Amino acid sequence: MMATAIAGRRILVTRATDDAERWADRLRRLGAQPVMLPCLEIVTIANQGVATGLRAALAQAAWLVLSARRGVEAVARLAGPDLPKGVRVAVVGPSTARAAADLLGRVDLIATESSARGLAQALLARLDARDRVEAHVLVAGAANGRTDVEQALAAAGIRVMRVDLYATIPAAPVTRKLDLADAGIDAVLLASPTAAEGLVNRAIVGPDVDVITIGPTTSAAAAAVGLTVRAEARRPDLAGMLEAMP
């Protein structure tokens, strides 16, 4: 059903450049025609204060939770490739797992559902009774990213620390915006509030273009910048967005 719904359609991918190609590959395999228009940028928070805070947090942590490849790269750069003895690593998806294995030397848990929510659920299932009482979990990620992992762990009584290592910002406004109707775009995939803002900075989105969001927070942000959301994913990943596509 999913492949039938998107086959032959021109679909705009608004993720950052490094992430867009993976989604584009998936769309091509399903018979769609992906068009990439990066609508956000990644800014690394690389200063001595962050590096010191990260190393201090790692010294206390039993688990390091990473939901993106960029988080892995930032940890390796700011704290070095050798994690303190005993720190286990939990990640989302194969791409982040490969980065952690290459740059940090270990991966102890890979969430089967490639989302922050899935990672939280997998980690809770892995923690034994002693871990739940004694363990500190360190979440390293984006300053304006989702907090699903922290919320789920804290609700279960787990002590959680967070260190922000990078931030996402909207793509800057341009003088000549891309008219999506003229470009033959049938649908737009929005995976974050930042991408919604960046999209209106870079493109004209007419009423005939279907805007598909990854969840309610992104839907609210899209509405706030004047976009009409046609469909919202029931689960926060690419597959969920494609399933929601009319």
62 touches 36 (CB < 8 A): no
**Looking at 17-21, 124-128, 130-134, 207-211, which range is the least confident one?**
130-134
Give the per-residue pLDDT at 235.
Answer: 81
Per-residue pLDDT averaged across 197-212, rounded? 96
pLDDT at 208: 93
- Same domain for 77 and 140, yes or no, is yes
Residues 61 and 140 in one domain: yes
CA atoms within 13 A on the CB side of 57: 23
pLDDT value at position 138? 92
Please state the rounded mean pLDDT for residues 7-25.
Answer: 90
Q: Is 115's pLDDT higher than 80? A: no
- Is 180's pLDDT higher than 70? yes
pLDDT over 70 (residue 179): yes
120 and 86 part of one domain: yes
| Whole-angstrom distance, CA of residue 38 vs CA of residue 15 | 5
* Whether pLDDT at 108 is above 90: yes
Q: Which of 123, 138, 168 is the last residue of a domain?
A: 168
Q: What pLDDT digit, counting tens, does each position of 186-198 carry?
A: 999 999 999 999 9
> Is it the case that residue 170 has pLDDT exceeding 60?
yes
Compute the average pLDDT of residues 72-97: 88
pLDDT tens readout for residues 215-225: 898 999 999 99
User: Is the Cβ–Cβ distance between 126 and 109 less than 8 Å?
Assistant: yes
Higher pLDDT, 186 or 1: 186
pTM: 0.76
Same domain, 48 and 163: yes
Residue from 216, 219, 222, 220 nearest 203 by CA = 222
Is residue 59 domain-shared with residue 159, that is, in the same domain?
yes
Q: How far apart are CA 246 and CA 244, in angstroms?
A: 6
Number of domains in the chain: 2
Same domain flag for 51 and 139 = yes
- What integer pLDDT is reported at residue 143 of this predicted model? 82
What type of residue is 68? A
Residue 43 has pLDDT above 90, yes or no: no
The verdict on 76 and 33 lying in the same domain is no
Same domain, 96 and 159: yes
Last residue of a domain, one of 168, 184, 213: 168
Q: What's the token pair of residue 180?
A: 């999506």
Residues 8 and 124 in one domain: no
- Mean pLDDT of the 197-204 span: 97
Categorize the per-residue pLDDT at 226 as very low, low, confident or very high, splitting at 50, 70 and 90: very high
> Which of 168, 185, 209 lies at the terminal end of a domain, its last residue?
168
What local confidence, expressed as pLDDT, does residue 193 receive?
92
Look at residue 1 in the predicted model and tell me its pLDDT: 46
Q: What is the CATH number of the domain that holds 236?
A: 3.40.50.10090
Could you tell me the residue range of the domain that residue 183 belongs to? 2-39+171-244
What's the pLDDT score for residue 16?
A: 87
- Please state, in angstroms and rounded to a whole number, the distance separating the CA atoms of residues 73 and 69: 6
Tell me the two tokens of residue 201: 């900075």
